[in-house]
Amino acid sequence: MNGENTIHFLQHMLTCVPHVPILLLWDRATWHKGIARQFVEDHARLQMIYFPPACPDLNPQEHVWKQTRAEVGHLRDYAHLSDLRHAFQSFLEQTLFRFRWIEKYFPIPSYTSVFI
């Protein structure tokens, strides 16, 4: 990843989801700074919040990588890199990753379910 790829992705999001505010939850990767940050600041529909430093448990993406690595990569031997790539892509496409970030860190009292 780099800043240019991040901007390309953000432009795609803005095109695919017009007229809707977009909140970006970002880790502190280098490509989320510099020109990518400036791009976000230049587009009113984009807002960003950085995860706190050294808190990978708050980042849902880290849970995806951990589960994928355990299923596809850990202690497995692939004859060719393309076999690993195929297994990795297939796992990502066929797996529904459940991470209940809001419920885990901000539990909703049971009595509020009546009003939702």
β-pair partners for 61: none
Label residue 36 exposed, middle or buried (CB < 10 Å: 0-12, 13-18, 19+): buried
Inform me whether the pLDDT recorded for 115 exceeds 70: no
Q: The pTM is what?
A: 0.62
Residue whose tokens read 């695919």:
16
Residue-level pLDDT at 103 = 72
Taking only the tens place, the pLDDT of each residue in 88-98 is: 999 999 998 88
Query: pLDDT (tens digit, 9 = 90+) per residue, 1-23?
Result: 899 999 999 999 999 999 999 99
Encode pLDDT of 71-89 as tens digits: 998 767 888 999 999 999 9
